[in-house]
Structure formats: C-alpha cells, structure tokens
C-alpha cells in the first residue's frame, strides 16, 4: 500500500455535512480529503426531490444537489475519494491514522460525517420502490402525496410526529403497528388519536410492498395474532422504525450516547481532541439537509481554529527549543 499520505484534514462521509465541511476547510487552504464511501451524498442520494433547501425554489433532486456541493468543494481544492474506511486509530492523538481499502492517511484532524441509515423493513418491494412510493422522511417527501392515501409503519415518537405532519398533504394516513399499543409519548398519541385523517391498523406487519412501473399501489399485511394476510391499497409507504448511526468503524475509540450517536459539544468537538463530528452521526433529532449543512459548517470552522491553535503552539515550542 506504500507510505501513509499526510493530510491536514480527512473527512469521513460525503453527505451534505461532509461536503460543506470540505468546502470550508478547502477555502481555508487545507486541501481536505473526503472519503466518500461508495455513493456520493449518503441518504440524500436516494431522495427523489428536495424542495425545502433554501435558495432552490424550483426544487432539485438529491443526487443533483450533492453533485453541486462536491463541485463547489473541489473548486477550492478538496479531493473526493470513492473509498470506504476500513479502520481508524484515534488512540495516540493527532495525527490520526485513517485506513481505507485503497489508501492509508495520517490526518492532523478528522471530521466524521458518516451519517446514519434508516432501518429497513427488509421486505419485497421496499428497495425497488424507494423514491417512487417508499420513503423514510415525511418532511422531505410529504408534498408529493397531496390528496393521496398513505400508510406509516411504526409506533414510536417519529412515526407519530411524521404521521401527523403527513396529514397536511395526504387524504388519509393509516399507521400500521406490530402491537396494539404505541411506544410514543402520551401527548403525541393524543394528537394522533384526535386527528380525523389518521387511523390505526394494530397487530399488523408489512409482508410486501406491491406496485408497478407507476409506483406503489398496495401493501400486503399480516395479522400478528391470526396470521391472516390482506392486501391494503395505498399510494405510499412511509417507514419510521428507527435509525442506525454508522458507528461500527470507530469501535470504542470515540464517545457515543446510549443510541450509538457520537457525542459532541456546541463546537462539534468529540471527546477526542482534534476529531469533530457533524450531520446525522451526531444529530438524531433533525435529520435535514439544511441542518446538516449548518453542522458541517460549524465542525469545519472548529477544526480550522483547532489546527491554527495547534500550529501556533507547535511553533512556540519550536521557538523555545531553539
């Protein structure tokens, strides 16, 4: 593999947070390297259309937005590598070792923007209709279901919050839950029960998502008590059964909260001096392109300040040594 490449900044992840961090660190003349994964943009890459990102009133597709972000960062000297991180070593402090399948880097600072993935149902039709009737984000895609009948899968806070939000657009929202009681907070439950557009299908799981070239037209449900299967017509399926932060590569080298998200302070610093995190790997609440962009900006500015301060102190040490 040859010798390690020495870099000022390595950014792990290529979603909106990572590409924004790349833009800011590139403009600071730090020539950041972005380890993009196999697909540019993370979750945004499977978002059919984005209509709530400021400055784009006509809307644009997820892939188009991240391609523009990549181009913007590259214009100022960022390098984007389509590779996966195999391991990191944060144990000895800066510079940090970051090993990918194609390269080894020694990075003075690291910005982690590796994101989180929505949990999948793992049923037939789910992958096939993602972006054409299957969604994991009501805020992103609700507008496309104006006047339609949709189902929401889940029973926690996010399922109910998104379900209530989706009633702004949909004709009806049927919340499908595997049990006969919800896990969501009492007030949220009350709001959902009081909403005329929401109904519930209890003790049921989705066995299959059914559709054609035009998109989704039904879900096959199985009653968890009787085993009976029924075909339920629907125009869309919104799945809210949780997210899994992509933390596996870090092992126990970085502090995580009880749900596996990286813990950061207000300056997006982790517990490892010189390692920062932004976007959904540390944000389990908002999960929007705009919030990730803001977090990527903050993490990059914090990293720039940290590198400058470190440089000053190293120069001071050199002067004392001289």
Torsion of CA 99, 68, 290, 116, to 10 degrees: -30
* CA 222/CA 218 separation, integer angstroms: 13
Q: Name the residue among 154, 113, 136 with its Cα closest to residue 297.
A: 113
Is residue 21 a contact partner of residue 300, using CB atoms and an 8 Å limit? yes
Give strand ranges (E) for 65-191.
79-81, 85-89, 96-100, 104-112, 116-118, 134-135, 149-153, 172-176
235 is a catalytic site residue: no
**Is 137 a known active-site residue?**
yes
**Residue tagged active-site, from 83, 117, 137, 157:** 137
* ω into 99 cis (within 30 of 0): no
> Backbone phi, then psi, for 184, in 5-degree steps?
-65, 160
Active-site option among 83, 89, 108, 141: 141
140 in active site: yes
Provide the annotated active-site residues.
137, 140-141
């Amino acid at each position: 593999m040859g010798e390690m490449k020495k870099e000022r900044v390595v950014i792990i992840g290529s979603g909106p947070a990572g590409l924004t961090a790349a833009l800011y660190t590139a403009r600071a003349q730090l020539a950041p390297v972005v380890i993009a994964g196999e697909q540019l943009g993370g979750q945004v890459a499977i978002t059919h259309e984005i209509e709530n990102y400021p400055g784009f009133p006509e809307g644009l597709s997820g892939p188009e937005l991240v391609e523009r972000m990549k181009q913007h960062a590259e214009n100022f000297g960022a390098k984007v590598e389509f590779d996966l991180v195999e391991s990191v070593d944060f144990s000895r402090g800066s510079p940090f070792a970051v090993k990918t399948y194609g390269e080894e880097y020694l990075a003075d600072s690291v910005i982690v923007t590796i994101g989180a993935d929505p949990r999948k149902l793992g049923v037939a039709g789910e992958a096939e209709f993602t972006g054409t009737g299957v969604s994991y984000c009501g805020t992103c895609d609700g507008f496309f279901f104006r006047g339609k009948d949709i189902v929401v899968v889940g029973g926690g806070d996010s399922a109910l919050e998104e379900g209530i939000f989706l009633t702004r657009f949909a004709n009806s929202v049927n919340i499908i839950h595997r049990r006969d009681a919800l896990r969501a907070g009492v007030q949220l439950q009350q709001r959902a029960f009081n909403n005329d557009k929401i109904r519930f299908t209890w003790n049921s799981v989705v066995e299959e998502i059914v559709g054609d070239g035009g998109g989704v037209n039904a879900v096959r449900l199985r009653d968890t008590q009787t085993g009976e299967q029924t075909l339920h017509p629907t125009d869309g399926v919104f799945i809210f059964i949780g997210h899994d932060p992509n933390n596996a590569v870090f092992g126990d080298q970085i502090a995580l909260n009880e749900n596996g998200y990286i813990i950061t302070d207000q300056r997006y610093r982790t517990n490892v001096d010189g390692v920062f995190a932004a976007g959904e790997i540390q944000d389990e609440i908002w999960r929007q392109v705009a919030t990730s962009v803001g977090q990527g900006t903050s993490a990059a500015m914090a990293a720039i300040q940290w590198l400058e301060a470190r440089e000053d102190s190293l120069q001071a040490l050199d002067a004392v040594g001289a």
